[in-house]
Structure formats: structure tokens, C-alpha cells
């Protein structure tokens, strides 16, 4: 007779949502989504509202002015607590470790037939005006033109040494079905176009909009190429992040693959030799790097450049009646910052752990260190032999992570998520004569930083005319063997209870005045 299965013997496995649509429904059920049916203008209103609620929960706009068949979502990655819950991570440190594991344990994508791919329910070949199917965004009043900036490129196969690449590229479709395609110097896409620059056949790709959130996360994994080199499987890593294979489908008009569960896909090819100015203003002046355009990750207004072009051969999408969802990505907000830094933290963790396992405890890139620009390493020195590895880590991070300008190493008694704690540490533990490192003066940085652009002098601000002045590493760790000299006092908070002395009203009133560092220290007694 078959043994009855008791309820308590059953292991309940909660399937995490994978598509953007399913994710939004799940977020709504969890109370982590706000939405509105009031029409929103993609010119200035979307980013204005996002800045008002920066760091808050995701926002869904069910109606978009001038775009009756589209919806917009933003702030999808604005709240790190929501991100952790979305992917089943218990806390920030758990997130970094599990992402590092996903990088080394990808799940191979699953190819599905074109006939069942959601992103190919509708196929429009040779579109005349791509902007008809997109939702271009104007972020600030400084920008003369709107951009399509939240699409995620998908490069697969021989063009990426047998692997797969996901990433962002801002586009401006000024010529109907041809748009500028800005590529960050040194990026995976930069490597691809340089490799195939002289070939007659342009590089076939797809640009996917409204993709599975895990793919969005991986699209921000820029410049950790010592760990994720050309030929790695970023689509597979995204699968490992979501816990199931990412579905892909063969494109209809080019030799490329698309993310099958995307809302909208642009098929086409990048022509690196067909270079055009990003805005009419820059075209009229004939000068790169002078006129304002799309905001940049560093928190400054970007400049318009002469960029490669993306030639669209087809638009595929979900049925218009279902109102395809476009992820409207604001720049230098926590939404974009968390996308750009989450996997980056994991690659830095993995890099340090490969150099010497067990010493690196956590890697944090706070909002104020702005995406590619910096990081904080928390280390634990187990014995005298471990002394010095923190400096090896700093040198490696500054050398291997393009755009890194400031890397700080702290000991395990410092909260790397508190910039107040980090600043206290810098003030009380750093010897400016011995603890400041500049391992790569004159090395290659990231040209979207104004400080580096200035090195061009009177020349145009281009990738070839700017120089990197070198990153700064700061060793703010406690020297091994001197722990007693750097012992932090801990006050006896566990021995007393405020409620034994004061009313709840008084305690709430008092605690409402405690903000920032003083509040975090009060919870530890330090």
C-alpha cells in the first residue's frame, strides 16, 4: 500500500517569476508596486517622477502620452530590499556571494521555436520609423533630443567567441530605421566591433526591451572582464540568477538571437564604420564632446558624440492589444545604479577570492561612488601572512575594472554599507604617507568622466584624446597584530531597556531624531 504523504513532509518550492510581466504581477501581490492610469509624458515627466521617488518601489505607468499601445515601468531596481526578495537573496552579502556563484555556474539558455516566442507575436519587417514602436525618453531640460536607452543588446555565437553578451547602448533614431549606437570604450560591445571593424558584414544583434529582470541585471555587468571575459555566457549567468534557463529565439531577419520573453525586439546590425552624430546640434557644429546630451552614470550631463549606427531590419513584439511594457531607465538614480553595480560587486568579490580565498568578506559600491567609479572592500586578516593581501586586492581592482577611480579597503569591524562609518575609518586609520596607492598612473580609464575629458585640453573630447590620471587605492584596514590599539568601545545597550524608563511615546519621539550614522551606531552599541 502506498504510504500517505503528510503535509509537513512536503517541501514547498516557490517558483520565482521570470518574465517582466510575471514579475510585475508578483510585485503587485507583494505590495512592492505602485501604478497609475494617469497618462505620463515620456518627455521629462517619467524621470521627474522617478527622481521624486528615487530608491522607492517599482512604478508602472499604464498609459503613456502619444503611445496608446505601450506601458512604462521604472524604478524596477530602485529598492535593494525588493531586488533581494525578487531573486531569493537573504541579505546584501548573500546576494554578492550567490551572484559570484552564478557567474561560475551558468545555466545554458533554452532555445524555443519562433512560432511560440512571445516577442515574435507580431513581426514588422523593414520598418520606416523605429520610434513608432519605441518610447524615446527625454531625461532633462538640458537634452535637445530624446533617446532610446533601455534596450538590452544580445550578441551571441561567433561574434562573442561562442558565448553571449548582454548590455546597454543608448540610441537615437534620427533617420527612421537607422539610429546612433553609443558604445562605451573598452566594453564587450567595443571589443566586438573592433574585432570585426574591417569586415564587410556588419555585426548582427538584437536589442530587447522589457526583458526578464535577471537579464536586466546582467546587462549592467560592465568592465569586470577579468572574471567575465569575451566568450562568457551572460545569458546563462542570468539563467543561474533566476534559477531557470533564459528562453531565446532565432531572429527573423538577421543571424542573431533574441530574448524570447522580451516585450519588444529590434533586429538589425551595427555598422561601426557608418558613424553619425548623436544630435542635430552636434552634427551642425561638426564637433564631438561639446554639446549636452544623455545624462551619464557619473552624475554629470553627457556629451553628444559621433557614434556607430544601428540599422533596424525588423521590429518584433508582443501583440499591441497586450500593451507591451518598456523599462524606462533614468540615469544616475538608484534604479540604474543598482543594475550597474550588483553584478560588478560580485565580479570584484570573485576576483579577490581567486587571488587569495577567504580574506574578502564583502564588496560594496555605494550610490555616492557612482557605478563604475569606486568600491569598498571589507577584508578579514586571519593571520600575519594575510597582511598585505588587501593591497594586492586594491591594485587588482584598480587595474582590472575600467573606470575605477577610488577603491577603499576596510576591516571587518567597519560597516561597508555606512559611508559615515567608512569616513570615520578613513579619518582615524589612514596614514597618508604609506596607505595611499596609485598603481596605474596613465592607465586607461573611462572617457565619460569629465575629469578625464579635461585632459584633452582644446581638442575634441573623444576616447582617443582623453587620458586616465590613475586610480587611488586607500588601505584603511587595521594592521594585523594591532587590533587592541584600534579596539572600538561598545556601550552596554544589552543591559538596559529604554522602555523600562520611558514611555513608548517618548522613545518614539527621541528615536525619530536619530538619523544616519548615529542611528546605526546605536544599534551596535559602538
Q: What pLDDT score was predicted for residue 372?
A: 79
pLDDT value at 341 more than 50? yes
**Mean pLDDT, the chain, whole residue set:** 91
Band of residue 468 on the pLDDT scale cut at 50, 70, 90: low
Q: What pLDDT score was predicted for residue 16?
A: 72
Backbone dihedral angles phi then psi of residue 303, each to the nearest 5 degrees: -120, 155
Q: What pLDDT score was predicted for residue 5?
A: 37
Band of residue 438 on the pLDDT scale cut at 50, 70, 90: confident
CB of 217 within 8 A of CB of 336? Answer: no
Question: Measured between alpha carbons, how far is 262 from 78 in angstroms, rounded to an integer?
Answer: 21
CB of 223 within 8 A of CB of 344? Answer: yes
Q: What pLDDT score was predicted for residue 467?
A: 65
Which pTM value belongs to this model?
0.91
Homologous superfamily of 95-318: Electron Transport, Fmn-binding Protein; Chain A (2.30.110.10)
Comparing 255-269, 332-346, 356-370, 436-450, the range with the smallest average pLDDT is: 436-450
Q: Fold match between 95-318 and 356-486? A: no
Q: What pLDDT score was predicted for residue 66?
A: 95
Band of residue 243 on the pLDDT scale cut at 50, 70, 90: very high
Q: What pLDDT score was predicted for residue 1?
A: 35
Band of residue 520 on the pLDDT scale cut at 50, 70, 90: confident
Share of the chain above pLDDT 70, in %: 92
Q: By three-state DSSP, how is residue 341 classified?
A: helix
Q: What pLDDT score was predicted for residue 373?
A: 85
Convert the pLDDT of each residue in 129-188 to its tens digit: 999 999 999 999 999 999 998 899 999 999 999 999 999 999 999 999 999 999 988 899
pLDDT value at 455 more than 90? no
Segments making up each domain of the chain, as ranges? 95-318, 356-486, 493-524
Question: Measured between alpha carbons, how far is 121 from 124 in angstroms, rounded to an integer?
Answer: 10
Residue 500 makes CB contacts below 8 A (sequence gap 6+) with: none
Band of residue 210 on the pLDDT scale cut at 50, 70, 90: very high
Q: What pLDDT score was predicted for residue 3?
A: 40
pLDDT value at 476 more than 70? yes
Q: What pLDDT score was predicted for residue 227?
A: 95
Band of residue 445 on the pLDDT scale cut at 50, 70, 90: low
Section 59-69 average pLDDT: 97
Q: Alpha-carbon dihedral of residues 318, 324, 328, 329, nearest 10 degrees?
A: -30
Residue 305 makes CB contacts below 8 A (sequence gap 6+) with: 182, 277, 278, 282, 288, 289, 462
Backbone dihedral angles phi then psi of residue 155, each to the nearest 5 degrees: -115, 125
Convert the pLDDT of each residue in 67-76 to its tens digit: 999 999 999 9
Band of residue 298 on the pLDDT scale cut at 50, 70, 90: confident
Q: What pLDDT score was predicted for residue 428?
A: 96
Section 17-24 average pLDDT: 94
pLDDT value at 456 more than 90? no
C-alpha cell at 406: 577610488
Comparing 39-48, 76-85, 295-304, 415-424, the range with the smallest average pLDDT is: 295-304
pLDDT value at 94 more than 80? yes
Distances (CA, A) of 159 to 195, 246, 259, 313, 513: 9, 20, 17, 19, 57
Per the model's pLDDT, the better-predicted residue between 502 and 456 turns out to be 502
Q: By three-state DSSP, how is residue 321 classified?
A: helix
Band of residue 377 on the pLDDT scale cut at 50, 70, 90: very high
Band of residue 284 on the pLDDT scale cut at 50, 70, 90: very high
Question: Measured between alpha carbons, how far is 280 from 174 in angstroms, rounded to an integer?
Answer: 9
CATH hierarchy code of domain 356-486: 3.40.1670.10
Section 235-262 average pLDDT: 97
Q: What pLDDT score was predicted for residue 14?
A: 46
pLDDT value at 79 more than 60? yes
Amino acid at each position: 500500500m502506498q504510504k500517505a504523504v503528510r503535509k509537513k513532509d512536503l517541501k514547498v518550492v516557490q517558483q520565482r517569476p521570470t518574465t517582466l510581466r510575471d514579475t510585475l504581477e508578483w510585485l503587485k501581490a507583494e505590495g512592492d508596486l505602485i501604478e497609475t492610469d494617469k497618462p505620463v509624458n515620456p518627455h521629462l515627466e517619467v524621470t521627474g517622477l522617478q527622481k521624486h521617488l528615487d530608491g522607492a518601489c517599482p512604478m508602472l505607468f499604464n498609459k503613456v502620452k502619444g503611445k496608446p499601445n505601450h506601458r512604462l515601468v521604472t524604478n524596477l531596481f530602485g529598492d535593494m530590499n525588493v531586488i533581494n526578495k525578487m531573486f531569493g537573496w537573504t541579505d546584501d552579502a548573500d546576494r554578492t556571494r550567490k551572484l559570484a556563484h552564478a557567474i561560475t555556474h551558468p545555466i545554458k539558455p533554452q532555445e524555443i521555436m519562433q512560432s511560440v516566442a512571445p516577442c515574435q507575436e507580431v513581426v514588422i519587417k523593414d520598418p520606416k520609423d523605429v520610434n513608432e514602436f519605441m518610447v524615446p525618453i527625454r531625461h532633462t531640460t538640458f537634452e535637445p533630443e530624446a533617446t532610446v536607452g533601455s534596450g538590452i543588446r544580445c550578441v551571441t555565437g561567433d561574434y562573442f567567441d561562442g558565448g553571449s553578451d548582454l548590455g546597454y547602448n543608448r540610441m537615437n533614431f534620427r533617420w527612421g530605421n537607422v539610429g546612433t549606437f553609443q558604445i562605451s570604450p573598452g566594453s564587450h560591445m567595443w571589443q566586438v566591433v573592433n574585432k570585426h571593424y574591417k569586415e564587410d558584414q556588419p555585426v548582427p544583434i538584437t536589442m530587447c526591451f522589457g526583458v526578464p529582470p535577471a537579464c536586466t541585471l546582467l546587462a549592467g555587468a560592465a568592465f569586470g572582464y577579468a572574471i567575465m571575459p569575451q566568450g562568457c555566457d551572460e545569458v546563462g549567468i542570468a539563467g543561474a540568477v533566476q534559477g531557470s534557463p533564459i528562453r531565446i529565439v532565432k531572429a527573423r531577419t538577421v543571424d542573431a538571437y533574441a530574448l524570447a520573453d522580451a516585450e519588444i525586439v529590434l533586429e538589425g546590425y551595427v555598422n561601426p564604420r557608418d558613424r553619425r552624430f548623436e544630435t542635430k546640434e552636434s552634427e551642425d557644429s561638426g564637433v564631438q564632446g561639446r554639446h549636452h546630451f544623455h545624462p551619464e552614470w557619473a552624475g554629470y550631463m553627457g556629451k553628444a558624440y559621433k557614434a556607430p549606427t544601428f540599422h533596424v531590419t525588423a521590429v518584433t513584439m508582443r501583440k499591441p492589444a497586450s500593451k507591451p511594457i518598456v523599462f524606462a531607465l533614468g540615469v544616475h538614480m538608484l534604479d540604474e545604479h543598482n543594475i550597474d553595480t550588483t553584478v560588478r560587486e560580485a565580479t570584484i568579490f570573485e576576483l579577490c577570492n581567486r587571488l587569495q580565498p577567504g580574506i574578502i568578506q564583502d564588496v560594496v559600491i555605494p550610490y555616492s561612488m557612482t557605478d563604475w567609479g569606486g568600491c569598498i572592500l571589507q577584508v578579514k586578516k586571519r593571520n600575519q601572512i594575510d597582511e598585505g593581501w588587501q593591497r594586492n586586492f586594491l591594485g587588482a581592482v584598480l587595474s582590472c575594472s575600467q573606470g575605477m577611480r577610488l577603491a577603499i579597503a576596510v576591516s571587518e569591524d567597519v560597516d561597508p554599507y555606512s559611508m559615515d562609518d567608512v569616513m570615520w575609518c578613513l579619518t582615524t586609520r589612514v596614514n597618508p604617507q604609506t596607505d595611499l596607492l596609485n598603481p596605474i598612473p596613465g592607465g586607461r580609464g573611462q572617457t565619460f568622466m569629465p575629469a578625464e575629458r579635461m585632459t584633452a585640453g582644446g581638442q575634441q573630447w573623444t576616447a582617443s584624446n582623453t587620458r586616465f590620471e590613475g586610480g587611488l587605492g586607500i588601505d584603511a584596514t587595521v594592521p594585523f597584530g594591532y587590533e587592541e590599539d584600534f579596539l572600538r568601545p561598545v556601550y552596554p545597550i544589552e543591559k538596559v531597556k529604554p522602555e523600562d524608563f520611558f514611555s513608548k511615546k517618548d522613545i518614539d519621539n527621541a528615536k525619530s531624531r536619530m538619523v544616519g550614522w548615529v542611528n546605526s551606531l546605536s544599534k551596535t552599541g559602538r
